Amino acid sequence: MRLPDPPRRRAATLLLCLGVVLSSPGLAWAGLSDTIESLKPSVLLIGTYQATGSPRFQLRGTGFVVGDGQMVVTNAHVLPTDPPVSDAPALVVQIRQPSGDWQMRSARVLGTNVARDLALLRMDGPAGPAMRLGNSAAVREGADLAFMGFPIGGVLGFSVVTHRATVSSITAAALPSPSAGRLSEQAIRGLRGGTFQIFQLDATAYPGNSGGPLFDPNTGEVVGVMNMVLIKGTRESALSQPSGISYAIPSAHIQELLDRHR
């Protein structure tokens, strides 16, 4: 006849079982659906508008609302680089309204951090729902995160798309310029030994994801900005043969920009 377990042994067994349940990977995504619903209104289209253009609106990347609700974060490489002329396309953002329609608004650049490939914009009109910044220094390798954006530009329609991401490495990097949006294998080798920490993600991002928020799936706090993706061969191969390796700038550098322009 088997004797009952002593109380301490039963307690230890129970704690072990709870540890297995609480460490289940599925729980990391338990709140993702609610988080997506709450964050989508904060994710914007970043592009240019020209009345005589075809199309008139040209998508350049993704952005998201921060600070006082009129500030927008994106990548510096998303901004137009041509010298301004009288008939140049205007920098604009598009924000989704409660009706589901996109509303276009003029925007201006408040400041940039080219070394970190970040830009802070101010959009016209009423304040939007601002995202909360999290502590990027607390992010650890192996963390389960998610990011939002508009992959492959307008090919899939202007609908916010969410992807899961695992932090596969936190490493020193130096961003290449001016093509930080996409990287070759040679450029990746040149990143090592850089000047600041960057998140390497086990996730597939595409053109159009640049400037999108990387966030905690349960709290919704932004811990990074999607920045670049490793491509194999040509730019077109990013669509047909995605590498599954992407990079994001820690949110601590967003806070630095905000502190300079409050």
What's the pLDDT band for 20 if we cut at 50, 70, 90? very low
**C-alpha span between 204 and 254 (Å, rounded):** 23
Given a cut of 70, whether residue 29 has pLDDT beyond it is no
Given a cut of 80, whether residue 183 has pLDDT beyond it is no
Domains of the chain: 40-123 (2.40.10.10), 136-260 (2.40.10.10)
Q: Which CA distances in Å does 175 have to 148, 183, 244?
A: 21, 10, 19
Task: Pick 143 or 86 by higher pLDDT.
Answer: 143
Given a cut of 50, whether residue 241 has pLDDT beyond it is no
pLDDT 10s digits, 212-232:
999 999 999 999 999 876 544
Mean pLDDT of 139-150: 96
pLDDT at 160: 92
pLDDT at 257: 93
The DSSP secondary-structure symbol of 75 reads: -
String of DSSP letters for 120-167? EEEESSS---PPPB--GGG--TT-EEEEEE-TTTTTT-S--EEEEEEE
Classified as helix, coil or strand, 177 is coil
Mean pLDDT of 231-257: 68
**Cβ contacts of residue 80 below 8 Å, gap of 6+?**
48, 60, 88, 89, 91
CA angle, 245 then 131 then 165, to 5° = 20
Q: Which CA distances in Å does 45 have to 2, 36, 61, 102, 155?
A: 66, 16, 6, 9, 14
Mean pLDDT of the chain: 80
**C-alpha span between 2 and 31 (Å, rounded):** 43
Model-level pTM? 0.79
Cα 31 off chain centre by: 18
The mean-pLDDT minimum among 41-45, 78-82, 132-136, 150-154 falls in 150-154
Cβ(79)–Cβ(91) under 8 Å?
Answer: yes
Given a cut of 80, whether residue 155 has pLDDT beyond it is no
Query: Which 3-state string (H, E, C) describes 190-218?
Result: HHCCCCEEEEEEECCCCCCCCCCEEECCC
pLDDT at 191: 54
